[in-house]
Amino acid sequence: MTNFFITGTDTGVGKTRATITIMAALKNAGFDVVGMKPVASGAQMINGKLINDDAKLIQKQCSHSVSYEAVNPFVFRFPAAPHIAAELEHKSIDHNQIIKNYHALDSASDILIMEGIGGWEMSLNEEYTLPDLVESLNLAVILVVGLRLGCINHAILTAQSIAGRGIKLCGWVSNHLDKEYLTPDQTIMALKKRINCPHIADLPYNPNFDLDNLSTKVSPAFISQI
């Protein structure tokens, strides 16, 4: 089966919201699903361990019990781009450890969903990027577009960058960030014409994070093709 990488047009566009929504939809369809957020920045110390809220949500949504460290092997206190956060804490990100965790989780599940950090073009260290990781693991990409001013440009450029690496962009998700945004329908229509992959979910503005409702927004056609 295909495993997926969730990327976004920027930071704060709803990647985690989309990740656990898709995980829930796949679980409801009968799949055994696990998730990863291999690198996270912006964390707090809980019981002597740094914990990132997004990674914890992904861990909780896994079909079976997995350790936090398996889901999120690299976590940093400072909210910054991964290689910068690592440098500030005098640490490094070993992509080989991420790949090791990935294979361990993948071997015990039907589908693995990996969430990125920030936008698409993120560096993990001086020599290795998130796109390098996606390419090496042969993951299909799902692009999350946060509906706000500027998102059309960001979405098209991100889709072009993914395609330029020869990586499969298998779908995109629109996420309503702001109930005051005036042109969501027009924005979605514009992107449907410009992004060459299916629109697999439209996540409504929902400050209460009703996961049962959100999971119904994932296209049945997308799930049936897995």
Q: How many CB atoms lie within 10 A of CB 96?
A: 8
37 is catalytic: yes
Active-site entry in 15, 27, 37, 91: 37
Which active-site residues does the annotation give?
A: 37
